[in-house]
Each structure stands twice: as C-alpha cells, then as structure tokens.
Structure 1
C-alpha cells in the first residue's frame, strides 16, 4: 500500500499547511492561533445544546492549549508592559475557560470569545501596519517570540 493511501490523501494538505505556517510572519501566526481558538470555542458552544460534553471538553482544552502557547511565547524582557498585560489576559482566559469547562457555561465561553476576538483584531491591525511599512527595515519587537 502506498504512503498516500495510508495517510488518507491528507499528506499533501498537511505538507501545504506546514509550509504555510513556516513562511508566515510571527504576527500572522498569532492571528492564526486566535482564529483557531475562536473556532474551537464556537464548536464547543454549538455542542452544548445537544449536550455533547465530550466534544465541548475537547474543544475547550484545545483552546486552552493555544492560549498556553501564546503565554509561553511572550518575551517579557522585550515586551515589557505589553507582554505583562498580555500575560494577565492569557492567565484570566485560562482561568475562565477552566470554569466554563467545569460548569459547561455558554456565557463564560462567549465572554472568552469576545476577548479573543478583540485581541485578534488588535493583532490584525498590527499586521496591517507592518505590511504598510518597509519589510526590509529593522522592525520593532512585538514582545512575542514564536521561534521556540
């Protein structure tokens, strides 16, 4: 059996996604992470009504994992006040998502989606500003390092 059959035809897609992620800017990657978190919480909220709590739990945990990655990527030395503010927001989000998961509370999830949407919008604005500036000029630090 060929490798393409074993992977179910997704190997080309996975390769494409991996290439896309490795070639985007740090700011675009952060926006993509927010998109994923918002999408996962949407799935969690949709599955509360039919009471599919296993799906709700899995998608809240996926969102928590994304927020953990964002939290770990903060550069506290370079980011200073902005990084400290983001740290506080991310910790708050993790706490609220834990509560939402334990209580299966749609209102808490909606609150987290609102915060994530506002953060995403801010990062998109930063991306637009960076896009209009000269890409070859030395850029200012965002206070976040995605390079592991």
Structure 2
C-alpha cells in the first residue's frame, strides 16, 4: 500500500512538473542509478550494475531527444551527453567504477548548473 502511494505521488510529480523540473528530475535520476551501479559493482552484482547503467543510458537518450536545436548551446549539450553515453556504455562493458565516477561528476555539474539557472529564471520571472 505504501509503495502504491509513493508511485502515485511520483507519477503526479512528473505529470505536473515543468520542463525545467523534468530535466532536473532526469539529472537526479541518473545520479541515483549511477550510485546503484557503483554499489552493485562493489558487491560484484554485475546484473544489477548492468540494469542501473542501462537506466542511465536511457536518461541520456531522453536528455538528447529533448534538446531544442534552435539554440547553439544545444549542440554543446548534445556532444557532452553523447560523450557521457559512450563513457557509460564503456563503464558497463568494462564494469569500471572509475568511469562511472567521471560520468557522475559530469551529471553533478549539469544538475548544479541547472538548479542555478532555474533559480535565476524564477528571480527574473
């Protein structure tokens, strides 16, 4: 019952979120799954690590698909997301925590910058 309530709450969060909020959720989700993959690798659970890595890859595909090509910065984001995707795939194939740490650091930078941009936009709006 509690899990059902949590799923309903999470579903409502997603359906009522702004595009900016959704992007932030994707960044946070990727960080959560990278952490899961790292822990799974430490526990020698390659299946769980693989599943978590695939979720990170899917988030990166989603982030790439939602970029607005009308803005020049989108090309830079696209290149960085593509790099992060390739590194995540490599980490998954090699079962390499160090590569996951690199991708995690990039996600942290994206998330923190995005949060700052959201705060600035709210102040101006």
Matched, 1:36 2:29: yes
What whole-Å deviation, never above 9, does each CA across 1:52-107 have from its counterpart, x for those lacking one? 00010000000000010000001112x2x210000000110110011100100011
What whole-Å deviation, never above 9, does each CA across 1:117-141 have from its counterpart, x for those lacking one? 001111101110122122xxxxxxx
What is the deviation of 1:41? 0.4
Q: Of the two structures, which has the highest relative contact order with CA contacts closer than 8 Å and spacing of 6 or more?
A: 1
Which of 87, 92, 108 aligns to 1:96? It is: 87
Partner Cα separation in structure 1 for residue 119 and residue 90 of structure 2: 35
What is the deviation of 1:24? 1.9
What residue is the counterpart of 2:12 in the other structure? Answer: 19
- Higher Cα Rg: structure 1 or 2? 1
* Stretches of 4+ aligned residues off by more than 3 angstroms: 8-12
- How many residue pairs get matched? 125
What is the deviation of 1:9? 5.1
Partner Cα separation in structure 2 for residue 18 and residue 42 of structure 1: 22
Which of 53, 62, 72 aligns to 1:60? It is: 53
Secondary structure class of the residue paired with 2:42: coil
Partner Cα separation in structure 1 for residue 6 and residue 33 of structure 2: 20
TM-score normalised by structure 2 residue count: 0.93
Q: Does the CA contact (< 8 Å) of 1:37 and 1:63 recur in 2? A: yes
What is the deviation of 1:10? 3.7
Within a 5 Å distance, the mapping from 1:1-148 to structure 2 comes to: 10-77=3-70, 79=71, 81-134=72-125
Q: Does the CA contact (< 8 Å) of 1:27 and 1:126 recur in 2? A: no
TM-score normalised by structure 1 residue count: 0.80
Unaligned runs of 5+ in 1: 1-7, 135-148
Q: Please give the root-mean-square deviation of Cα atoms over the aligned residues, in Å.
A: 1.2
The structure in which a higher percent of residues are helix is: 2
